[in-house]
Amino acid sequence: MTTALPDLWTDWCSVMGVPAGRIDETAVSRFVQQVQPSQAVLTALRRRLAPKDPVAPAWPRAHREDIGSLQRLIRRGTAIVQHPGTHWVFRLRLRRMLFAAVLLAPPSQGGLGLDRSGALEMRPERMRRLRPRVGVAEDPASCPSCATWSWLDVIGTNSGWSHGSVRALGHRLDEEGTSHRHLQPDPNPDWHLALGMLPAVDRWGWIDSYRSMHPSSLSAVISAVALLLDGPEPVLAPGPAAVAMPAGPRRQISREEEEQILKRADELTARVEAILREFDTAR
């Protein structure tokens, strides 16, 4: 049902010779300057200006205008993936979460802006067509195209190899360095044979080869995305590169503060893991 236009607007349009049904920013601005309408009238007109279908409707609402949220999410997720203490099944689910984020995030952030059904119904043929639209970040650890490459590696391994191969891939960390993974050829092009691009991953690491996850599971993944975006930075795994970096001037953190930071980061990681685990189908 179409809501009637405010009488004040239609009267003004009649006087000014402006088509009442053609509502744009220029006409509304003139209307506001000349008539000074009530907030209710202005809200009714603004509602007509707003697009009927929001950009990236499945992306967490609080981060749709946050231009860096997808890259920040990928960086935080990658930090957990790269931590040697991360369980290999959780690592697989994290890679799937980052791929789902690429499907759902606004195009302005490097994502594809799909709704929930579009993500769940994604098939290899469409992924091949849309893949060139996925964004690229300067840092490989924050790069949407690299996150896509890594999950397609998992899907391809699951389609063409054994569960042992998937497990080995789950244990493997990304190589450190400045090169982008997505610039390399796909290591497992068998992802083209997959029936679903967002399958369930059960607690033993078995990946469903025949259907996508349940919509409620995708909702859980989106909840995990929001949680990771809103929480503290995960704890990075110690490495030679971190040790070699020169120490800059910084505020000294007490042992108690450091313990609190580590505790909060560990709690966040545990909550994300619990969310991703809870809704995956048991085998």
Q: What is the mean pLDDT of residues 147-163?
A: 91
Task: Name which residue leads in pLDDT, 257 or 249.
Answer: 257
Task: Give the pLDDT confidence of 202-213 residue by residue, as tens digits.
Answer: 989 999 888 889
Residue 195's pLDDT is: 86
32 and 138 share one domain: no
Averaging pLDDT over each range in 90-104, 149-163, 209-223, which range is the top one? 90-104
Nearest to 143, CA basis, from 197, 184, 172, 90: 184
28 and 117 share one domain: no
In contact, 13 and 19? CB cutoff 8 Å: yes
In contact, 248 and 169? CB cutoff 8 Å: no
43 and 85 share one domain: no
Q: Provide the residue range defining the domain that includes 31.
A: 7-49
Within a domain: 55: no
Within a domain: 1: no
Percent of the chain exceeding pLDDT 70 equals 84
Instruction: Tell me what the pLDDT averaged over the chain comes to.
Output: 83
In angstroms, rounded to a whole number, what is the distance separating the alpha carbons of residues 140 and 280?
28
Dihedral sign from CA coordinates of 25, 70, 269, 283: positive
Within a domain: 247: no
33 and 136 share one domain: no
Whether the model pTM is above 0.75: no
**Given a cut of 60, is residue 228 above it in pLDDT?**
yes
